[in-house]
Amino acid sequence: MDWHAEPPSEVRDALDTTEEGLSQAEAERRYDEYGPNEIRGEREVSALALFVAQFRNWLTYLLVVAALLSLGVGFLPGQNPEYAEAALIFAILLANGLFGFAQDYRTEQSIQALRSLSTPDATVLRDGEKRTVDAREVVPGDVFFVTQGDVIPADGRLIRAESLATDESALTGESASVEKSTEAVGADAPPADREGMVFMNTHAVGGRGTAIAVATGMDTEVGAIAEQLGTTDEPPTPFQEEVDALGRRIAGLTLAIIAFVAVVQLLFTGAAPISVLLVAVTLAVAAVPEGLPAVVTLTLALGSRRLLRKDALVRRLPVVESLGAVDTIVTDKTGTLTENEMTVRRAYAGGETLVLPTGEREAVPARAEERAETDGSGTIPPELVVLLRTGAICNDAERAEDGATDEYRGDPTEVALVRSADEAGVEWHRERRREIPFSSERKRMTVVAEQSENESVSGNVNANANVPTAYVKGAPEVILERCDSVLEDGEESPLTDDRRAEILDANSEFAGDALRVLGFARRVGVNPDAPDDELESGLTFVGLLGLMDPPRPEVADAVADCRRAGIRTVMATGDNVETAKAIGAELGFDPEDALTGPEVEALSADELAERVESVEVFARVSPTHKVEILRALQDNHHTVAMTGDGVNDAPALKRADVGVAMGQRGTDVARTASDVVLRDDNFATIRDAVAEGRGVFDNVRKFVNYLLSANAGEVLVVFVGALVGAAFFPETFAGADEAVVLTPVMLLWVNLVTDGLPALALGADPKSENVLKRPPRESTERVVNRRVMVSIGVIGVLMTVTGLALFFYGLVEATLVTAQSVLFTFLVAIEMVRIQLIRSRYDLSVVSNRWLVSAIGVTLALQLGILYTPIRAAFGVVALGATEWSWIGVGFTGFVVLALGVRAVLGRMFGEEA
């Protein structure tokens, strides 16, 4: 049933209730039928499920196999058991899982801490008596009461409304409060235009009302959005998919290489089966990048911690990397781009237009800046003092008590009027003698209060008298009709037709700039008991005030920074189009081609996909429209971040590549649906988050490049070394049990010290200074792209050529064990050089990462410890002398020269880091 389109009597009949409410017995029966009045959230994930989820990827499976193989090496003939190596790999896996679990669990706890744990109460009519019940117990048909400050407990059809106004911004995106009535509206009216309805989880900001609950729990407008969230899939990020695919490719490639080498050795070299098995196991150990999962997790976690220091709470680690790919931000207006707080922005008083800076005790004349008259309250014209005082007195908003969370309480518009007077230093008090409340028919409100001696501006009033004065505010046209004078230069002057026309022009100018305009008047010396019409006639016009929800001061710079970084920012708001365009223009958006929600709905999918490429402002959009806009952008291969704080934003937040919710003003539903929560509600934090995301992507690409090129070199060294050795040194390699260029134990050690601390330290690399000066990467671009693959292959070949040249030279000049020791040490040293070769392309110096400097130092020290302590016997190596070090020096120089030349060639080919 379209409750908003039916008169209250029809609603009562349909729900089988009366103005006396339900009986307690009937309410209990309906509670059993409809269930509790609550929004069901997503099912909580257990700690065990979070922990197990850390191990569900192909790289983990591959590492388990590698650990079992390394354990199996010890049981081959002639080999010693190496339990420590297998234990080390399992320890790395466990530590990685615990680290990721701790991060995810801590994030979920932080989200829980952001949520309000209190359950609101509701005042309902049961058996003809008012009762206060838990809001969860409200059922359809209940008659409930709403007063200023209440949270609406359910969707309700109003049957009485006395100056009732509600804040529905969290549901509809509408920044201004909504005046309510009992009138029915059209059946096709959107929620924002249903004046006869109140909605669950919105707030009453003024007046009072009585409503019949027509929907509770998941059947409410908020519940429908929550239900939609439950049916929206949350796919893995591209990075998660790529890491998993990388594990599968490495596993497949490793098996192919092992099979190929085994066949070649058995058929063409005459190698003994045990030697073939030893080479196969060695290749498997060399191919698996043991450190990759740990480094990925650590890098993402470090990025998450840096973002947390900037007040951005990341709910899922892979999202940190996704932030770096964002090329479009779709943002809500209210509370995200703006303060979510109505503010007086402009005034018209004494014939002048004045701009009122937010939060400052000064008003600057827009057309008469030389004016500097004061009345002791600040450098503002006396007419403005009267205007601001009138707005504060003709008002129901109140200053909050000491210790309260909010400074003021009441309707946002009335709070803005009181705050503007206080910020300007205008003294006022409200000794109310009488009030004529605002109504939609009258379009004005009047308060009769005593005027003290320092409130007199007009010279024709006794300054020492406390004179009852009528203060009036309302629609400017309505106020002007009841005025016959105007306050100018401290005097009441006749209101001529020319002055009336000038005031109306100022009103039109304010309205044209999307300001909400109120007119103000007063009448000094009235009889408080006089008829309403007499009190509101013969008024003196004192001015206009233009209000709006202002942009946050830092947002314009943040939007400009995003634009320079190649990131489009698109506004999608439930507010009206003129307000959206005005705010957009002020923040640097192009508002000319703005689209409204109904216009979006009228477009075909292809037409919308074309329009979203140019439109930067969308107004009057519903949650469904936001999802359609997101889908069109994603279909155009954009990586989209969606920001918002309201319930209406939640479906789009969940569908977005990166959903960003507000932590302070955001609703629980929005935070639950998001990937990132901004604890400071600051749009500028998104800019910083994107910069961190790009830095994380750079670090991931650096260590993936480093790890895979190093492992490719190790695999090729063992593979090619076995073939060349069997072909050219048959007396050494053919039939020998341990005749391999490197033993499995040596390979495990190289992987441990090079894939361990140095690779982990790469995750702590600082981001490049130009990270926001380059365009975002394409949505289809992956960490291991064509350029990285070429770099990995070429570097692997260079390591093989220089390393095997040293090995076979040592084999000729010395012994097999000496040649192995030289190659063993060369690989460790050259992989440390490879790290800096990669980093230098990002303009990072050697000392810019102190953790990396320490890691390289520890790695080299450990390698020297292997060579020059008794531990070398366990690895089957010998201490190197000056001669062997000179060989390594020559190989080292040759590799660096060749690598720099290859990097220059790849740079010209791809124009990117290589």
Tokens 């000038």 belong to: 502
As given in the structure block, the two tokens for residue 306 are: 């840096």
Contact between residue 549 and residue 338 where contact means Cβ atoms under 8 Å apart: yes
Nearest CA among 756, 749, 914, 782 for reference residue 840:
914
Tokens 């830095």 belong to: 695
Tokens 């520890």 belong to: 858
DSSP state of 912: S
Reported in sequence order, the residue ranges of 39-154 that DSSP labels E, i.e. its strands, are 121-126, 129-134, 143-147
Nearest CA among 822, 781, 779, 787 for reference residue 802:
822
CA distance 158 to 195: 9
> Please, which residues bridge with residue 126 across strands?
22, 129
Q: Which residues contact 527 (CB under 8 A, 6 or more apart)?
A: 468, 534
Q: Which residues contact 9 (CB under 8 A, 6 or more apart)?
A: none
Tokens 């911004």 belong to: 169
CA distance 131 to 125: 6
Nearest CA among 517, 393, 406, 396 for reference residue 449:
393
Reported in sequence order, the residue ranges of 151-202 that DSSP labels E, i.e. its strands, are 155-167, 178-179, 197-198
CA 690 to chain centre: 10
CA distance 735 to 750: 26
Nearest CA among 492, 494, 493 for reference residue 457:
492
CA 276 to chain centre: 54
Pairing of strands 352-355, 343-349: antiparallel
Give the angle subtended at the CA of 827 by the CAs of 824 and 831, to the nearest 5°.
Answer: 150
Distances (CA, A) of 394 to 24, 412, 415, 477, 518: 42, 14, 11, 18, 12
CA 242 to chain centre: 23
Reported in sequence order, the residue ranges of 462-616 that DSSP labels E, i.e. its strands, are 467-474, 483-488, 491-494, 516-524, 539-548, 568-572, 595-596
> Please, which residues bridge with residue 523 across strands?
470
Q: Is 32 a catalytic residue?
A: no
Contact between residue 713 and residue 899 where contact means Cβ atoms under 8 Å apart: no
As given in the structure block, the two tokens for residue 801 are: 């050529």
Nearest CA among 624, 614, 623, 566 for reference residue 589:
614
Q: Which of 104, 219, 327, 332 is catalytic?
A: 332
Contact between residue 661 and residue 238 where contact means Cβ atoms under 8 Å apart: no
Pairing of strands 398-399, 408-409: antiparallel
Q: Which residues contact 441 (CB under 8 A, 6 or more apart)?
A: none
Half-sphere exposure of 566 (CA within 13 A, CB side): 17
Contact between residue 699 and residue 762 where contact means Cβ atoms under 8 Å apart: yes
What is residue 340's three-state secondary structure? coil
Nearest CA among 397, 427, 1, 43 for reference residue 205:
397
Q: Which residues contact 897 (CB under 8 A, 6 or more apart)?
A: none
Indicate which residues carry an active-site annotation: 332
